[in-house]
Amino acid sequence: MLTGRAYNSIDDAGRMFMPAKFCEDFDVNKNADDEGDVMPPSGKLRKNYAGRCVIVHGIDRCLYAYPVRNWELLIRDLRTLPSDDDNIRDLLRHYVGTSTFCDIDKQGRLTIPQESRNYAGLARDLACVGMLDVLEIWDRVTHENSISGKDVKALSNYASKLKREREHDARAD
């Protein structure tokens, strides 16, 4: 599970070091024993993803870096959504359409594609934020601006309200 925050930088070649606290989640420096399709025809998920991730243009002008196993689970869920819904297709175009498979080299460096760097406005200093199943990669100043002034108590109350509503809806079913 990806949790916590780390700060690092990106070099002129678009490479960032994967923060040490997240390396295990991305299987950095492990040997791959299986390569090929992301979701093999059998539909079975692979077990070893040695130093690979999927970079996606995030919702908040940051990037999402998914460990491949987490990405495959998300894709499996996205396939269940109704493809005749315009909003779903737009979401898939953004989310799946911007995805790029990237390798993390033996030194723990991840090369972020130029298009993705441009999208997220990545300059030099980065903030990497673990968000359970995904790692958010932010320009550090943009991240600091996005969290400054947030009322954490109000956000917690909002989450509690959502939980109560879902529990109520589940009982009604």
75-86 pLDDT, tens digit per residue, is 999 999 998 999
pLDDT reported for residue 49: 55
Q: Give the whole-angstrom CA distance, residue 9 versus residue 126.
A: 5
Give every CB contact of residue 157 below 8 A, 6+ residues apart in sequence.
none
Give every CB contact of residue 92 below 8 A, 6+ residues apart in sequence.
78, 81
For 36-70, what is each residue's pLDDT tens digit? 444 444 444 444 456 789 999 999 999 999 999 89
Give every CB contact of residue 85 below 8 A, 6+ residues apart in sequence.
none
pLDDT reported for residue 140: 97
**3-class secondary structure, 82:** coil
Each domain of the chain, given as residue ranges in start order, spans 2-172
**3-class secondary structure, 7:** strand
Range with lowest mean pLDDT among 5-9, 24-28, 130-134 = 24-28
pTM for the predicted model, two decimal places: 0.84
pLDDT band at 14; cut points 50, 70, 90: very high
For 139-163, what is each residue's pLDDT tens digit? 999 999 999 988 999 999 999 999 9
Segment 11-39 mean pLDDT: 76
Q: Does domain 2-172 have CATH number 3.50.50.60?
A: no
pLDDT reported for residue 39: 46
